[in-house]
Amino acid sequence: MKLGNRLSNKICPENMTVEEWQVALRRENARESDFQVDHLDKNRIWGDYLVSSGTGRYRVAFRGVQSDRNFCSCLDFRTNGLGTCKHLEAVTLYLQEHVPGYPWAGLTYTPEYTSIYVSYKGGRSIRVRIGTAYQAEYQRLFAQYFDEEGVLPPSQYIHLESICQQAQAISASFRCYDDVHEFATECLHQEQWKAELRATYPERAIPWNKHTVVEEFSAVEHLLYDLCYEGYGFIVGTKHPFYMHLIARLVEEVYQGEEQREKGYVIVNNETDVLVWQAVLFEYSEYVHLPVQVVSQEQFVKIQIPQGTKSTFVYVHDADCLKEWKNPVSLALKKLEVKHLYMHVDTLNHLTPVQLSSILQHVNPFIIGPFYKFIHTYRPLFPLVEDAELLPLEMKPFTFFATQRIQAAVALPTSGDEQTIRILPVDDERTPEHKVNRLFTLFAEILEDPDATLLLRTKILSLTQPDH
């Protein structure tokens, strides 16, 4: 479907696959943009380029038309799974103007050096390309680790450093790019995290009292384990006072498993919520010694956070604010490199595919696969309901329907210290804690509304004035 002579960026044309449509959109964008392309080496076609515009500069490695060895430093290239982006398409258009014979089928990119690289086409994978020099030696080495397609299986990532050392010993020209080590380290850390949890808690439940699993708390002890095991999470369920206790124990367990303890944040709606959450979180003896700050959304956006600042833990209690990509909380959160991000929403049924995708991609841009593909594939499922079987496949591992899990508990524990542990009734609507929390929430809403504040003041004055 076209708008005039332009492709629609919302509806895939009937004569195209989704991937073809997305590539065409990027080619169209490149054609319409004012890009400057600079060739950085002396190769006639294949080589390194710098693509510049008024908004930024991106380094492009062009190895062939639709080659899985192409690369661009932009985020879209690394996450779209297409193997191209508007900057790569700009290089292709530049070459079509300057070098006859597109797509140059008779020419191949065959440098002498051998390299290990990340292919982003169809998802991330670590691959090897053997150059023209020392072919026999490299083939013998890589046959021990890589499959017949030249892909390194995840089970071999642990040997990457040794592979590189052996390859370097064959020739100093060998290359292994930075994103290879970053991707392998990310995968190895995730697997180590899960392996340690499986070994420490074979019952797949984390004792609330930090000693032994208690039958009455079984439902929430399993929930705590599941949240920890995944390393991040999307929590769905109506607000409940127990969330404050759950997050307190989650913070304790996450920091227990990390050697590097960077600053963390619990982000709640307003300053009244900050006071309520702090009062509960400070009941937990380990939590009080951890570098975690409870802040309102307004306070969080005012914090001066340098781009790329590392954070061990972040919890966003009302993640609806993240559905708009340019929301101030979203922009501030994207400055952080968060190792363990957890987000909560009351329900799913009000979110569109685009809004849900925007929220989830705060965890990491690869979590649901290509943005366009997720939306196109799962649009018929919306609005979503609280049923794990009806969720998009990519969401299932890290989406937790907390209301169902909490209601399944015989009892809900509060303070995590065995000597002071208390019981919170599952039916929160009748608890004093819920009533007080509800009062504070309503009071905060009134103070944020000038008209409501004036009306409240009038009501209070009328109650204090003597009758005439």
pLDDT of residue 456: 77
pLDDT of residue 423: 60
Pick the closest to residue 375 from 97, 21, 125, 29 (CA basis). Answer: 21
Residue 184 CA to residue 125 CA, distance in Å, equals 9
What residues contact 367, with CB distance under 8 A and at least 6 apart? 360, 361, 394, 398
pLDDT of residue 421: 58
Q: How many CA atoms lie within 13 A of 3 on its CB side?
A: 8
Task: Please report, to the nearest 10 degrees, the dihedral formed by the alpha carbons of residues 320, 322, 324, 329 taken in order.
Answer: 120
pLDDT of residue 427: 56
**Residue ranges, the chain, pLDDT below 70:** 1-5, 105-106, 416-442, 444-445, 448, 463-468
pLDDT of residue 5: 65
- CB 37, CB 49: distance < 8 Å: yes
What residues contact 72, with CB distance under 8 A and at least 6 apart? 51, 58, 59, 60, 61, 85, 87, 88
pLDDT of residue 41: 85
Pick the closest to residue 111 from 166, 69, 68 (CA basis). Answer: 69
Structure token digits, residue 218: 């079984």
Residue 361 CA to residue 379 CA, distance in Å, equals 17
For the chain, the distance separating the N- and C-terminal CA atoms, rounded to the nearest angstrom, is 74
pLDDT of residue 452: 76
Q: Which residue has the tokens 């004055």?
A: 461
- CB 127, CB 116: distance < 8 Å: yes
State whether residue 28 is helix, strand or coil: helix
